[in-house]
């Protein structure tokens, strides 16, 4: 057994939580393996990593990986991740989310995390369905495909997750699939090493909910579809429009350097502390805040006393 595999196994909790709850043929095991391989190659110690998830099938991943982990509320993985990063800037923070978790109830957090460019990694596992909750269609369910809430086909058009991330300002955006497992861990590694907000979309398969409703014969059939319908970024521009229909790009889609949020915030603080007038202004604001808080406290106490007095008069 290679040293890299042995090291990757150190990042799992095999005696505590395995086997997983995921269905046979689910792509989430491939994503989890890619994640621990990437972290192993980066060489980050376990206690220096926090993995955060929301709700859904992907939300179970923190139970199986042996890092600091948070299994949070639906759609809020990036909000919790932001809090962890602000409290501990040296921490490597990775949020793993499903497409519904990241882009439906969590869509607002997603676009603003991209915009802020805080240094953490978001892995969006896109299986085009709400798998755990019964097969409802999601923001990434393709037009015409079926779900339990779209039994005759989805009339809406899907988000392009990577394009949304680029448009919202993420400074590293990549896409691959669970068929391309080795590419997945290389892209996750690049995302972790990138200084800024990184998004890695991984096209995955949910045979139980999505596959059966959309006439895939097996999980392998869904993996074959990923193989046949993905195009490397380097080859995409060479394809005529009719050859792009129904296909997706994979690889690094966008990479750029912008000021990272925490660094920019700290620099602003240092700049202000070097300006006496700014320091005095901040002191005035804090003093006014304290005085207002005192007034509110006194008013609350007087209100409580008045209520108590009225109660005593009634008796």
pLDDT over threshold 80, residue 311: no
Could you give the percent of the chain with pLDDT greater than 70?
94
pLDDT over threshold 60, residue 1: no
Q: Which of 34-38, 135-139, 276-280, 303-307 has the lowest mean pLDDT?
A: 303-307
204 and 290 assigned to the same domain? no
Q: Is 270 within the bounds of a domain?
A: no
Q: Is 105 within the bounds of a domain?
A: yes
Q: Is 266 within the bounds of a domain?
A: no
91 and 202 assigned to the same domain? yes
How many independent structural domains does the chain possess? Answer: 2
306 and 241 assigned to the same domain? no
What's the mean pLDDT when you consider all of the chain? 91
55 and 118 assigned to the same domain? yes
pLDDT, tens digit (0-9, with 9 covering 90-100), for 5-32: 676 778 998 777 788 899 999 999 999 9
Residues 171/258, Cβ–Cβ less than 8 Å: yes
Mean pLDDT throughout 207-216? 92
Model confidence at 314, pLDDT cuts 50, 70, 90, reads low
Which comes out higher in pLDDT, residue 39 or 302? Answer: 39
252 and 292 assigned to the same domain? no
The predicted pLDDT at position 308 comes to 67
CATH of the domain at 231: 3.40.50.970
Q: Is 263 within the bounds of a domain?
A: no
129 and 201 assigned to the same domain? yes
pLDDT, tens digit (0-9, with 9 covering 90-100), for 255-293: 999 999 999 988 888 887 777 777 787 788 888 888 888
143 and 282 assigned to the same domain? no
pLDDT, tens digit (0-9, with 9 covering 90-100), for 59-113: 999 999 999 999 999 999 999 999 999 999 999 999 999 999 999 999 999 999 9
Domain of 293 in residue numbering reads as 275-314
pLDDT, tens digit (0-9, with 9 covering 90-100), for 218-229: 999 999 999 999
Q: Is 298 within the bounds of a domain?
A: yes
pTM of the model: 0.86
Please give the DSSP secondary-structure letter assigned to residue 20. Answer: P
215 and 280 assigned to the same domain? no
206 and 289 assigned to the same domain? no
Q: Is 268 within the bounds of a domain?
A: no
pLDDT over threshold 90, residue 120: yes
Please give the DSSP secondary-structure letter assigned to residue 296. Answer: H
- Measured on CA atoms in the order 20, 24, 27, 31, is the torsion positive or negative? positive
The predicted pLDDT at position 309 comes to 65
Strands of the 121-126 sheet, one edge to the other: 68-71, 49-53, 92-98, 121-126, 198-203, 172-177, 248-255, 230-232
Q: Is 167 within the bounds of a domain?
A: yes
Q: Is 264 within the bounds of a domain?
A: no
285 and 234 assigned to the same domain? no
179 and 254 assigned to the same domain? yes
Cis before 19? omega within 30: yes
Model confidence at 315, pLDDT cuts 50, 70, 90, reads low
169 and 24 assigned to the same domain? yes
Last residue of a domain, one of 211, 230, 258: 258
């Amino acid at each position: 057994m290679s040293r890299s595999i042995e090291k990757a196994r150190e990042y799992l909790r095999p005696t505590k939580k395995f086997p997983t709850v995921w269905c046979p043929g689910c792509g989430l095991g491939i994503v989890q393996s890619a994640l621990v391989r990437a972290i192993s190659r980066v060489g980050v110690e376990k206690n220096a990593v926090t993995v955060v998830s929301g709700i859904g099938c992907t939300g179970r991943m923190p139970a199986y990986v042996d890092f600091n982990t948070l299994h949070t509320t639906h759609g809020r993985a990036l909000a919790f991740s932001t809090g962890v990063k602000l409290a501990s800037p040296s921490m490597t923070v990775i949020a793993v989310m499903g497409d519904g978790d990241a882009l439906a109830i969590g869509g607002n957090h997603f676009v603003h995390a991209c915009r802020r460019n805080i240094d953490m990694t978001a892995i969006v596992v896109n299986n085009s369905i709400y798998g755990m909750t019964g097969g409802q269609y999601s923001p990434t369910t393709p037009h015409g495909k079926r779900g339990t809430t779209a039994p005759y086909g989805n009339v809406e058009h899907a988000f392009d997750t990577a394009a949304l991330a680029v448009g919202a300002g993420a400074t590293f955006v990549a896409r691959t699939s669970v068929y391309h497992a080795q590419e997945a861990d290389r892209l996750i590694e690049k995302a972790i090493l990138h200084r800024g907000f990184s998004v890695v979309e991984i096209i995955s398969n949910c045979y139980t909910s999505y596959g059966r409703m959309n006439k895939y014969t097996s999980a392998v059939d869904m993996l074959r579809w990923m193989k046949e319908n993905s195009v490397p970024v380097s080859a995409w521009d060479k394809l005529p429009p009719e050859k792009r229909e129904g296909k997706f790009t994979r690889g690094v889609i966008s990479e750029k350097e912008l000021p990272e949020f925490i660094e920019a915030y700290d620099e602003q603080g240092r700049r202000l502390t070097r300006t006496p007038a700014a320091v005095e202004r901040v002191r005035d604001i804090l003093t006014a805040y304290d005085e207002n808080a005192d007034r509110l406290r006194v008013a609350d106490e007087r209100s409580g006393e008045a209520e108590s007095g009225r109660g005593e008069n009634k008796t």
